[in-house]
Structures are given as C-alpha cells and as structure tokens.
Amino acid sequence: EVQLMESGGGLIQPGGSLRLSCAASGFTFSNYAMSWVRQAPGKGLEWVSGLSGSGGSTFYAVSVKGRFTISRDNSKNTLYLQMNSLRAEDSAVYYCARGRTPCSGGTCYREFDYWGQGTLVTVSS
C-alpha cells in the first residue's frame, strides 16, 4: 500500500527556517517524481515545488524560488522541503504528492495520484 507521511510542521517566527519531511512507503520511491503542494487556511491548492525521481531536476513556484529547497534521499525513501526566510503568507498545510507514473530522471510532467495527510506550518510572531 502506498503511503506518504509528512512531518516537521509547526509554529515558526517570520524570517525563520523549517524543514519538512515526507516518508514514503509501498512503492519504489526513486522511480517517481514528487512534489510539495500547499493550502493556506480556507484557500485553494498551490503547487510549491517538484523534483525528478533521481533528484537531479528541481522546479519551484515563483513565490518560493530562492527561499525553499526541495530534495530527496532515495536511500531513506524520504522527500524534504527546506524552507528559509519564512513569511506569514507561507502559512499553510503542506502536502507531499506523488507523480502518478514512474519517472526516474529528467523532466517529467505528472498528475498526482497519492497525497500525504499534510503538515501545518504557521508563520507568526
């Protein structure tokens, strides 16, 4: 059974840093592109960042580029999102999501078939 479980959320002051993790199980993690998607309270979905199965290709939304870094450790079946210079508008539930079909390297465009339960990040003083 495919499972994705996020962790690392919490309350952080503006300007601070936080690292989110997404532990994956039930599939060959390195074969799949992964993404982070966030949802501010009462708002819609916003794609944040994605990367290829190998981790060699990374992509970011304009709103987070230069502040957030996506990475993965395929030996640990874990996806990460390092978030620096956090702002109040970064407050949201952060979901990790899997691209539906395998894509080990390069740039692959995929819909998301599995999502984690989300982890809440609150940026406030």
Partner 1 sequence: DIQMTQSPSTLSASVGDRVTITCRASQSISNLLAWYQQKPGKAPKLLIYKASNLETGVPSRFSGSGSGTEFTLTISSLQPDDFATFYCQHYNSYPYTFGQGTKLEIK
Site residues (vs partner 1, CB under 8 A):
35, 37, 44-47, 50, 59-62, 95, 100, 107, 109-113, 115-118
Least spacing, CB of residue 11 vs partner 1, in Å: 19
CB-nearer residue toward partner 1: 46 or 78? 46
Least spacing, CB of residue 97 vs partner 1, in Å: 8
Residues 68 and 79: beta-carbon distance below 8 Å: no
Least spacing, CB of residue 45 vs partner 1, in Å: 4
Quick one: which H or E segment has residue 116? none
Question: Which position has the token pair 């982070």?
Answer: 36
CA distance 118 to 125: 22
Least spacing, CB of residue 89 vs partner 1, in Å: 16
Residues 29 and 38: beta-carbon distance below 8 Å: no
CB-nearer residue toward partner 1: 93 or 123? 93
Residues 9 and 120: beta-carbon distance below 8 Å: yes
CA distance 26 to 40: 29
CB-nearer residue toward partner 1: 29 or 60? 60
CB-nearer residue toward partner 1: 75 or 109? 109
